[in-house]
Structure 1
Amino acid sequence: MLSRYTICNSDVDRYMRMLRASFPNQHGAWAMLIVPFLIGMFAAKPNWTHLWLALAWFAAYCTSFAVLQWVKTGKEWVYKQPCLIYGRAFVLFAAILLFLRPDVWWMGAVMLPLFRVNMWYAKRKEERHLGNDIIAVAQFCWMLIIAFEVGGGTDWGLAWRAFAVCMLYFVGAVLYVKTMIREKGSPTYYAASLSVHLIAAIAAGLMISPWVAVPYGVLFLRAVWMPNMKVTVRQVGLGEIAFVVATTGVLIAAL
């Protein structure tokens, strides 16, 4: 009995270690996972179907992360089991979602060709490439449109404007983080970051509300000054959390 119990516990521990090793650990990506979903939901009307959409979205992200790590490293023994566990959860939640809203299937299918591009970058071990980042941002922001549809939204002009402003925010954030870490000192990335932030601030004011332009303007000033300052990676991450919470709150309030 003791040996059988020990073996059982050992298996559980092994599975838990595998899941922890394959659990997404990119904090910026978690913001991209959550923020567009919330904006799309509140731009329409929250309902219980959003719960199943959120669970399916969470499981899909965890599955995709494990798949990309598998493709990148080739370590089947590490990532196969997490892919199966997260994948089964996704199938379950997606099945319930599609039972309730079968008309949104094509919206999820739109992401598949984009995910193939992510796999291509992962295979080349170039997942930090700017092109891959932008493709990922597009997928995350597309959830805004899906959440809006699930919420029965009717003002599609507002939805697409929110999508554009959300895209600009996260592309700007990607460029800003690169100027702070991997591309620090690069005049090309610095200029690109400032350009996107300035366009985002103007677009937010014109397309959503002048009030939304205020936090976007602050983000532009951050992109101007912060790359010239000495800060740690942890400080950059904590700052991004504060900025994304504040900006998202103002954006949702303005919808």
Structure 2
Amino acid sequence: MAADGYRWIPDQHGAWAMLAVPFLVGTFLAPRPGPEHVLLLVGWLLGYAAVFHAQQWLRLRARGLRSAGRHGRPAAVLGGAAAAAGLPLVALNPWLLLAGTAAAPFVAVNTRYAVRGRERALVNGLVAVVPACGMLLVAARLGGADPGAVWRPALACLLYFAGTVPYVKTMIRERRSPAYRRGSIAYHAPALAAASALSPWLALPFTACLVRAIALPGRGLKPPVVGAVELALSAALLTTLLTAF
């Protein structure tokens, strides 16, 4: 594993902020963040990596490609590690099974897109955002919060990360598409209004999101620069949510 350990880590770099920010918000807005959250985070990240490799195995196997084999071992090992982290939590908190059941349809849709080789489809990206942002409610509940008390930051995360899906496409894969650029701007404008209604403080990061959706496409920025901008905005969202709520 050491020689090719990098292959075990999914190369979907934009996913990591989407996995981390809602989790951290839910954890630190909860009345009692604690050691159980460490187990939840480990299981969450390992589970994501295991599902990624399982989907890639299915995609390549469906095409009869021998390269599918390189994803089998990571899927099995990471899946087992995720289960080892998650089972003690489920034993102490059986309601986590309900949370997993709620996420299952979204994972199924993502798997279907992966098998068809359409992981980059707009709908697939939007579907993936839902369970990732739902983790905010799970982490908050694990820390003793009523999920109904944290629906506004969860919705803010959903609004933000849903907007990253079309925006990033305007910067990379659909950078020559005026329709995608118009669609991205058309999303970010009402998202700013909706987020501001949740909390006036959210106008700050969401205004920045709208500005970057208008100003940055077409400037030929390299993917690392695009990623750095998104990382900064994700950090701004995290800070704002923890401050505002």
TM-score by length of 1: 0.88
Alignment match of 2:232 (pick from 219, 223, 242): 242
Check whether the contact 1:72–1:123 (CA below 8 A) recurs between aligned residues.
yes
Q: Give the match for residue 5 of structure 1.
A: none
Q: Give the match for residue 57 of structure 1.
A: 44
Matches within 5 A, 1:74-223: 74=61, 75-154=67-146, 156=148, 158-207=149-198, 209-223=199-213
Alignment match of 2:6 (pick from 16, 20, 23): 20
Task: Give the distance between the partners of 1:228 and 1:85, measured in 2 at CA.
Answer: 42
Q: Give the match for residue 218 of structure 2.
A: 228
Which is helix-richer, 1 or 2? 1
Task: Give the distance between the partners of 1:110 and 1:68, measured in 2 at CA.
Answer: 19
Q: Give the match for residue 64 of structure 2.
A: none
- Which amino acid letter does the alignment assign opposite residue 188 of structure 1? A
Q: Give the match for residue 73 of structure 1.
A: 60
User: What is the CA distance between 1:188 and its match in structure 2?
Assistant: 2.1
Count of matched residue pairs: 239
- Which amino acid letter does the alignment assign opposite residue 175 of structure 1? P
Q: Deviations over 1:77-123 (max 9, x none)?
A: 21111111101111111111112212221101211121111111111
- Which amino acid letter does the alignment assign opposite residue 232 of structure 2? A
- Which amino acid letter does the alignment assign opposite residue 40 of structure 2? L
Q: Which runs of 4+ in 1 moved over 4 A?
A: none
- Which amino acid letter does the alignment assign opposite residue 205 of structure 2? P
Task: Give the distance between the partners of 2:41 and 2:25, measured in 1 at CA.
Answer: 13
- Which amino acid letter does the alignment assign opposite residue 210 of structure 1? P
Task: Give the distance between the partners of 2:50 and 2:93, measured in 1 at CA.
Answer: 22
User: What is the CA distance between 1:190 and its match in structure 2?
Assistant: 1.4
Q: Give the match for residue 27 of structure 2.
A: 41
Give secondary structure in 1 for the equivalent of 2:14: helix
User: What is the CA distance between 1:42 and its match in structure 2?
Assistant: 2.1
Task: Give the distance between the partners of 2:50 and 2:220, measured in 1 at CA.
Answer: 36
Q: Give the match for residue 10 of structure 1.
A: none
Task: Give the distance between the partners of 1:17 and 1:65, measured in 2 at CA.
Answer: 20
Task: Give the distance between the partners of 2:58 and 2:2, measured in 1 at CA.
Answer: 21
Change in CA separation of 1:67 and 1:155 when aligned onto 2, cut-off 3 Å: closer
Larger radius of gyration: 1
Task: Give the distance between the partners of 1:76 and 1:115, measured in 2 at CA.
Answer: 20
TM-score by length of 2: 0.92
Task: Give the distance between the partners of 1:89 and 1:155, measured in 2 at CA.
Answer: 28
Q: Which runs of 5+ in 2 are unaligned?
A: 62-66
Give secondary structure in 1 for the equivalent of 2:117: coil
Check whether the contact 1:19–1:82 (CA below 8 A) recurs between aligned residues.
no
Q: Which runs of 5+ in 1 are unaligned?
A: 1-14
User: What is the CA distance between 1:199 and its match in structure 2?
Assistant: 2.0
Check whether the contact 2:159–2:195 (CA below 8 A) recurs between aligned residues.
no
